[in-house]
Chains A and B, each alone.
Chain A
Amino acid sequence: MTIDPTAPASRTRRHGARAAVAASGWLALAVTLLPAGFPLRWVPVLLFVCLGPGLALLHPQPRGLRPGARLEAFALAAPLSLALAALTATFLFLVGGFSVPAFLVPLAAFTTVATFLPGLPLPAATRGAVAPADAESFLSRERGPGGGR
């Protein structure tokens, strides 16, 4: 099924998803103000740390993602997010400057900024993985029809 990425509904949905990702880090930061051990702290924090930065980096393509590229963006989002979170936390402990805001604020800011930038230029994310073999720059290539893998 081909989805017209320029259709208003599709555009609205994409903008909504983009705004949700952009705000996810700040929401996670806000819920840490709740009392310690409060169950509501878990979900926003876990979702943001596991998915937020990765989705922000991979998802916002100018015309949305092809079906095959959606799988790639979804599969890579969590590992990428966790990698960035682990590096951030390690740096903070290395300099003896760890605190929850010191951990979440840079990640949230990074996520917000990344959400409004073009997504990472992985070929499959921009035009689907299956394409003729002769290499044309994936930065300029238009997507072909159909899904990739």
Chain B
Amino acid sequence: MGEEAVPARPGAPERKDGGRPETSAPHPRRAPVPALSRLLPALLVLGLGSWGLSLPLTDFRSMDDYGLLDRLPVTFYASLVILTAGFLVALRRAGTSPGWPLVYCVGLLVALKAAPAVLYDSVRYPWASKHDAVVDTILGAGELRPHAALSGNMSAYDQWPGFFTLNAALVRAFGVESTAVYLNWAPIVLGLILLPVLVLLYRTFTEDWRLVWTAVWIFQLANWVGQDYLAPQGLAYVLHLTVLAVVLRHFVRPGSAGRLRDRAALDPAAAAVPPSTTTRQRAVGVLILSPLILAVNAVHQLTPVMLCVVLAALCLTRRYRNLGLLAVTGLIMLAWNLTMGRPLFLETLGTLKDSLGRLTQNSRAGYTGQLTGPGPELAGRAGIAMALAVVLFAGIAVLARRRLTRGALPLLLASAAPLPLFAVNDYGGEMLFRVYLFGLPGAAFFAAAALVPAAGGARRSRAAVTRRRVTAVALPAALLALTAGFLPAYYGKDAMYYTPPAETDLVVRAIDGMPAGGLLLATSGSFPQALHRYDDVEHWWFCEQDPAENKRMLADPARYLADRIPRGVTAQVVLTRTQDIYTSGEGLLPAGGFTVLRDRLKASPLFRTVEEHPYGIVLVHTPPTTTPGGAP
């Protein structure tokens, strides 16, 4: 049980290639390569330059089946190849010049995710405008109303309001009208904040800078799930990983590291286990972490659950068996759920008995339909392929580099811990993506370990030479393949993510014209400003249900809807281009179903057209006096 007295060696010089220092006789120091010094900035300028040049050539307004994919010019794709090449060159000197891989990682972040922010003249992701609406509403009310019981569970945003109140404060401090002004830049800002946290996390388990930066690179490529937009999950995720990093670095129990204190028992790339801390030190650590844990709870409802699950998984190791921290985290979550989050918490508890154990149902992606159309289908396939590839590479490293795995076991456990949540709840069809997101930091680390062989300690055996030759080809090939997978997964559905400003204006006009207490009907909530005035207006997304029921609805949509509109309520139907793309792409309506719906509603005497454009139509319900009432 006692900790072996083999101290780590702080300050030992690092190899130029970023690997661990040699334990045997060092190789002769290589002469500096001046060509490399010029190559790195040249490739960076070339990569970002061709990315910049590609933007004016991108005709995003005419996006069709493949979203942004077939609208991005060749120079965009070339820029990613050039940045990958530059990164691979920078990796060779990662140990002595970690600045270059960092610069390239930031370059990749910009190249991968900044294009919509620069190009789009409206909010990317229609549902992001929901968050804009929440901020507007909070600012309008000047207070939080967690128990207001608003339509569509919109009060949940006041029950976990941290992200929205922060943005409300920023909107006022910036002096702008709404978050829409900066909303599309959220992936870049959150990515920049997350980057050093990831580096910190990875440096806890490896001293090989090449492995650190490759893991960061893979993380960025594999993070296609689109949870880094202006949403609570993005901020809560950063806070979650921050808590995890602090725990992994400062909560090692004394006498628990055992053989891991012995350098000979570690993988050459592995870092020494962080120094152990006393009970008092860990208690101070819990105090320091408490505001972060409280903020996680204030910002998001699912992330605290993930945090508790991860901390519980860490308790399975002797190194991180911190039951006090787990108890404090659990108590903070419980306290929040029973006070601010009480309504939704109790409602979710009530439905748990139905969802518990339904693994296949809880791990479904999206609502109920199947992705339809070339772009969405390709995006879906690419996403699955990416996840499988990362897991495959990670699995190879876990099996092939067992000594590294032994050292980084806490990271592996932390990444695998959210998996059992499939057995609990489907989180509105999102659980699959969230489990993947929370598992990604560890998966990216081990995937990188499969592609970056240990640099130090190994003798020049034939097997080692072969392994290095294989990985010399495998690393660039894998990074390029992941890049190729990221693009359809992230941009393949942009036709439903981009909404022309005219469509937004139409929706705002329609909702502004409704009286308080009116009912807004639309096929789904995935259209811009769908929740504008959500505290005044009720809404019913009538196609967000079983697709079979939607087929029945299409037989006589006017009667179907009219029968379910409560008597005496002013109801408007808003059908827009984005809804058309979304309902067909997500398989909620059959091919041509949206047009049938639109035409039949227009022709029905139960609805009157108020406004019609190529990008949308607004119809008002005109009930005959004999129409029976119902509840949506």
Residues of A at the B interface (CB closer than 8 Å) are: 28, 32, 34-38, 41-42, 45-46, 49-50, 68, 71-72, 74-76, 78-80, 82-90, 92-96, 98-100, 103-104, 120-124, 128-135, 137-138, 144-149
Contacts and interface: CB of A to CB of B under 8 A. Distances in A.
Contacts of A95: 143
Q: Interface range on chain B: under 10, 10 to 19, 20 to 34, or 35 or more?
A: 35 or more
Contacts of B235: 82, 86
Contact of B274 (A84, A89, A129): A129
A90 to B, nearest CB: 5
A130 B275 contact: yes
B254 A41 contact: no
A123 to B, nearest CB: 6
B298 A86 contact: yes
B168 A83 contact: no
A41 B182 CA distance: 13
Given A36-B176, A41-B173, A146 B11 contact: yes
10 contacts: A49-B169, A71-B196, A76-B242, A82-B166, A82-B235, A100-B172, A122-B246, A130-B10, A132-B275, A147-B10
Interface of B: 3-5, 7-12, 138, 142-144, 161-163, 165-166, 168-170, 172-177, 189, 193, 196-197, 199-200, 203-204, 207, 235, 238-239, 242, 245-246, 249-250, 254, 257, 261, 271-278, 280-281, 284-285, 288, 291-292, 294-296, 298-299
Contacts of A123: 249-250, 274-275, 277, 281
Given A90-B298, A137-B280, 6 more contacts: A49-B166, A82-B238, A86-B298, A89-B166, A100-B169, A104-B173
Contacts of B163: 86
Contacts of B189: 50
Contacts of A94: 143-144
A96 B143 contact: yes
B175 A37 contact: yes
A8 to B, nearest CB: 24
Given A75-B200, A137-B278, A98 B7 contact: no
B11 A133 contact: no
A96 B261 CA distance: 53
B168 A41 contact: no
A78 B192 CA distance: 10
Given A132-B275, A133-B3, A85 B169 contact: yes
Nearest to A123: B250
A135 B161 contact: no
A99 B274 CA distance: 43
B254 A135 contact: yes
Given A37-B176, A71-B200, A135-B254, A130 B193 contact: no
Contacts of A128: 10
